[in-house]
Structure 1
Amino acid sequence: MSLQLPDKWIWDSWYVQVDGVTHAYYLHASKALGDPERRHRHPIVGHAVSTDLTNWTVVQDAIIISEAPAFDDGTTWTGSVVQADNGLWWMFYTGTSRAENTMVQRVGAATSPDLLTWTKVSTEPLVEADPAFYETLDLSVWHDQAWRDPWVFRFPGESTWQMLITARSSSGDPRVRGVLGHATSENMRDWTVQPPLSQPGQGFGQHEVFQFEIVDGVPILLFCCGVTELSPQRRAAGEVGGVYSVAVDRRLEQVDFTGSVLFDRTDLYAARLLQDADGGWVLLGFINIVDGEFVGTLSDPIPVTADPVLGLVHRQAEDSAAAPDTCVI
């Protein structure tokens, strides 16, 4: 049974796998709101645990909005969790403020010794969009200031922390300004915003919920995009939006989204890559729209592997994982 809350909607999620236990952090909101679109302004970051990616036990919520004034006194949205070298866990997440009508997105952090109890680092954000590279709020161009969904990781053998961010370029056709935002840090608290790792004009108004993994030897960048934020060309080709993937180089130095491929489970959104107990890769995301209605539950794990051209594809039960270095792009 996938994670379902009878009185709440679930959407974006992010995960930590440690000692045979998967910790799911996810956005949820009460169905008492009536309209599921209202959930975006009433989110709580929930927490559940599982040993098989199918049966989940809900534990205490992780974080909620701060008391005003704070960069996150309006909403706390999607993020990621990593462990520092001293063992402390860091959750990087998106915050918006009521003073700006939740229109401006910034990235902050909370820490935890045990993945259960979280303490916010600051009422101020740690990472903000740099207008030298990225679009800032202009409601005549876009519906918000996109700077969210931080995915934090390190390249193997390196000490520098990398952050991938949903962002938009400060130039180009407003319909397709989506770029791969980028920031770096040596200590997880002080971040330097870098130029984007991709160019605008590659088919997307924005790319949500990034994740970078080496899947069965193929470096893969995972993201999602709604139909209204696709390029006119992709919409004309019949794409309905959903979960996308694209094969990239191992250091994300030549990211080109024009080759991105839509995963065929178009009811799935904001999916994440995880590994099951046998080491095989699976996708977990939330079930979005089915028969015109928002569902708002997590999916069961979907076995996947990667292809250098097609990106993520379904993995058959008899498939064996490729050696980690069988494909270098």
Structure 2
Amino acid sequence: MHLFFKPRPGVIGDCIPHYHDGRYHVFYLRDYRDRDSYGLGSAWHHISTDDFVHFEDHGEALAQGRIDEQDHTVATGCVYTDDHGKHHIFYTGINPYLRTDALHEQGLMHATSDDLVTWIKHPDEIGYADEAIYERHDWRDPFVFKHPQTGRYQMILAARVNHGPVFRRGCTGLLTSDDLTHWTVEKPFYTPARYHGHECPDWFQMGDWYYLVFSEYTTHTTTRYVMSRSPDGPWIAPADNQFDNRAFYAAKSASDGSRRFLFGWNPTKLGNVDSGEWQWGGSLTVHEIIQNDDGTLAVRMPPEVAEAFGAAQPLGLERLESSWTYGDMTYRAESLYSFSTALSGRMPESYLLQGQLRFEQDAGAAGVLLRMDEAGDTGYFLRFNLPGQRLEFGKIGGYRDWYVDHMPELDRPLQIRAGEPLRFRIIIDKTAVVAYVNDRVALSARMYANPFGRCGVFADGTNVVVHGIEMLPMRS
């Protein structure tokens, strides 16, 4: 069993979540990774769930168009249910063969349904960029909502303005409508001149704050958010406005009216090796969004996902180096001037690991070891870097050449103070990893070596206490 959904054959790409009648419907771009059998491009597929673990497959929702049609690739968009119960998909039709001075590679398209399963396309409704404001061929990922003050329909999308430095033209474009059919192109909704593109935009209200979510690939490859007291901005970018890291992309949200969840994909790596390049698409990851007192956002593991694991079992660490001691479910390391480890026996391929770690000095680093080999030469780590105030993922012995262990972009800001416990929960599901700390910070990753390797803890230039470390097996 896979905890993190992935279609077979193929991978899950951009997700379009929609809550309706007690279930989360997840429409997604499916890449079969088999051009000989399935051709180029993607269609929309449809699954639904009420626990983010078990999914009902509803099959293909929107098929690809012909090679001469705008939607030869059916790309990202949104699902919107109007006041009469009619369901609308607004999506991107992409056709690279139409990238000319006379035609458009990307256009906005429309489909409708009475049941969320059977959809009718409206090929006569295609919207293109207004080149007086925007670039011609970047016009994708529409998201529709009703403005809470004017009652008009707003469509935001990934676009680029037609002026300024090329690598900073990315913006969140805007269209408006009174009927969901006829749309007027407006000036940009959000244009900070910081990124090449703002992919997969999302917008929602939580309490007294409004949030705009988008994914960028300029400074990092990640999903970000900005916030405002007004539905239209101006938008504030918090110091840490990422939800996760490089291994969680194109995330969009859906809510049942009281809780909100974020659906993104954890990319695989080329060749199924740690040194491979990140690929487009992978498996589904769902975080629950939490609002802090100051309006900033955080994420945690959905409690429904935790229910996928069985009873907690104390994890015995049988290989303790000399600086480690054990007593009363607690491991302690005095390693102020050295690196030391404590390791378990061999572990299953999928499980949940949890516990808490506390620094006793404002110095050094410590953390959790995963999938260590018998000799302790290779494996993975989740490192609490106290001087750097960061959570980091990497590979013991180096993930490429020259023994560089910390994998680029697989880190997150984290407040770490001596004497304050860091509560961690780490899901290992085959090659996918998602770690949560203090129910506020998430870090996703991939690991391909030593699938049944040992886990454990380490201290590097500090004294630490690790308490209540447990393994929870995945339910069958």
- TM-score scaled by structure 2? 0.56
The structure 2 residue matched to 1:282, chosen from 251, 258, 261, is: 261
How does 1:56-71 map onto structure 2 within 5 Å?
Answer: 56-67=55-66, 69-71=68-70
The structure 1 residue matched to 2:183, chosen from 191, 195, 206, is: 191
Check whether the contact 2:12–2:29 (CA below 8 A) recurs between aligned residues. yes
Check whether the contact 1:66–1:123 (CA below 8 A) recurs between aligned residues. no
Letter in 2 for 1:93: Y
Q: Does 1:305 align with 2:298?
A: no
Residue by residue over 1:55-108, the C-alpha shift from the partner in whole angstroms, topping out at 9 and shown as x without a partner, is: 111112111122464322x21100101112222111000002354159721101
User: Following TM superposition, by how much is the alpha carbon of 1:123 offset from its aligned partner in structure 2, in angstroms?
Assistant: 4.3
How does 1:142-221 map onto structure 2 within 5 Å?
Answer: 145-156=137-148, 158-199=150-191, 201=193, 203-221=194-212
Partner of 2:93: 95
Partner of 2:222: 242
Deviates more, 1:7-16 or 1:115-124: 115-124
Partner of 1:272: 252
User: Following TM superposition, by how much is the alpha carbon of 1:295 offset from its aligned partner in structure 2, in angstroms?
Assistant: 7.5
SS at match of 1:214: strand
User: Which of the pair has more CA radius of gyration?
Assistant: 2
Partner of 1:79: 77
Letter in 2 for 1:10: I
Distance in 1 (CA, whole Å) between partners of 2:237 and 2:31 is: 32
Distance in 2 (CA, whole Å) between partners of 1:14 and 1:6 is: 19
Distance in 1 (CA, whole Å) between partners of 2:58 and 2:205 is: 30
Residue by residue over 1:83-138, the C-alpha shift from the partner in whole angstroms, topping out at 9 and shown as x without a partner, is: 1222211100000235415972110100001100000012451x2110111112xx
Q: Aligned in 2, Cα 1:182/1:133: closer, same or farther, shift over 3 Å?
A: same
User: Following TM superposition, by how much is the alpha carbon of 1:191 offset from its aligned partner in structure 2, in angstroms?
Assistant: 0.4
Check whether the contact 1:197–1:255 (CA below 8 A) recurs between aligned residues. no
Check whether the contact 1:245–1:311 (CA below 8 A) recurs between aligned residues. no
Q: Aligned in 2, Cα 1:308/1:205: closer, same or farther, shift over 3 Å?
A: farther
How does 1:12-161 map onto structure 2 within 5 Å?
Answer: 12-33=14-35, 41-67=40-66, 69-72=68-71, 74-97=72-95, 99-101=97-99, 104-125=105-126, 127-136=127-136, 145-156=137-148, 158-161=150-153
Length, aligned pairs only:
293
Distance in 2 (CA, whole Å) between partners of 1:68 and 1:11 is: 21
Check whether the contact 2:175–2:186 (CA below 8 A) recurs between aligned residues. yes
Check whether the contact 1:245–1:260 (CA below 8 A) recurs between aligned residues. no
- Give the gaps of 5 or more residues in structure 2: 304-437, 440-476
SS at match of 2:232: coil
Q: What's the RMSD between the two structures over aligned residues?
A: 2.9
User: Following TM superposition, by how much is the alpha carbon of 1:214 offset from its aligned partner in structure 2, in angstroms?
Assistant: 1.6
Letter in 2 for 1:179: C
User: Following TM superposition, by how much is the alpha carbon of 1:54 offset from its aligned partner in structure 2, in angstroms?
Assistant: 2.3
Residue by residue over 1:131-181, the C-alpha shift from the partner in whole angstroms, topping out at 9 and shown as x without a partner, is: 111112xxxxxxxx2100000000236431100010001111111001110
Letter in 2 for 1:270: A
The structure that is strand-richer by fraction is 2
Letter in 1 for 2:195: F
SS at match of 1:261: coil
Letter in 2 for 1:114: D
Distance in 1 (CA, whole Å) between partners of 2:99 and 2:293 is: 42
Check whether the contact 2:265–2:285 (CA below 8 A) recurs between aligned residues. no
SS at match of 1:168: strand
SS at match of 1:31: coil
